[in-house]
Amino acid sequence: MVMRLARYSLPALAGIAILTAAETRFRPQEASAYPAKQKQGSVTVAIKSYHDDPQRETALGKADPYKYGFLPVLVVITNEGEGVINIENLQVRYVKGRNEGLESIPGRDLQTWNPKGNQPRPKPRYIPNVPGLSRPKVKKGPLAQPEVVNHELTAPIVPPGATEGGFFYFDVGDKGDPLAGASIYISGLRDMSTGQELFYFEIPFAQ
């Protein structure tokens, strides 16, 4: 094996590693490919729950948020128009029944969440660039996987002809079917060519 590797330069090996990572990286399909979707003009928004999806590990690694009552929902936005869609102020809520809805929980909060109730606390003193005092003390929890954060929807815009997608997490607990009678309410999309905000999207999981 050593003899074979010696035939390749370090830059070539690095390129192979990057290519492999790119091939295995989770990438959502266009929004039109998902059953639960809604279209307004040239913009299609789709949702998909990953609480029991066989592809969950591909998307979220070893993390299983729903095991602890957090529903992972993939939101995908496809822009088939000629203008840029701004999603910096995107608002995504989980709505079930007549409730006002749940705001999403940042992936970084899930990474440090502790099921035993002992939440991590920062050190009493916090001084940047000072050894031992420059970082909060954080204990890893069962959801401390990089995919939980890396696969969130963080893109600020959706360019013409492009698709952007990522996850949002909702604390739904563990009682009953989280999708029965539930919808995802999405607002804050703005067409930068006109300055107009799109009407909100309300997408039920069951379609």
Tens-digit pLDDT profile for residues 25-70 = 688 999 999 999 999 999 999 999 998 878 888 899 999 999 999 9
Confidence of residue 175 (pLDDT cuts 50, 70, 90): confident
C-beta pairs of 114-117 under 8 Å, 24+ apart in sequence: 114/139, 114/141, 115/68, 115/141, 115/142
Number of domains in the chain: 1
Judge whether 103 lies within some domain. yes
Domain span at residue 126? 29-204
Q: Which range has the worst mean pLDDT, 5-19, 101-115, 134-148, 158-172?
A: 5-19
d(CA 150, CA 94): 21
Q: What is the pTM of this model?
A: 0.78
In a domain, 34, yes or no: yes
Query: In this structure, is residue 173 part of a structural domain?
Result: yes
Phi-psi region of 97 (alpha: psi -120 to 50; beta: other; left: phi over 0): left
Task: Output the pLDDT for position 64.
Answer: 92
Residues linked to residue 190 through DSSP beta bridges, in sequence order: 86, 197
In a domain, 74, yes or no: yes
- In angstroms, the CA 86 to CA 162 distance is 12
Please report whether residue 144 resides in a domain: yes
Residue 111 lies in a domain: yes
**pLDDT surpasses 50 at 14:** no
Is the torsion defined by CA of 34, 39, 45, 49 positive or negative? negative
Q: How far apart are CA 163 and CA 149, in angstroms?
A: 19
Q: What is the mean pLDDT of the chain?
A: 82
108 in a structural domain: yes
What CATH number is given to the structural domain containing 97?
2.60.40
The token pair that represents 50 in the structure block: 């990953």
Helix (H, G, I), strand (E, B) or coil at 120: coil
Whether 13 is in a domain gets the answer no
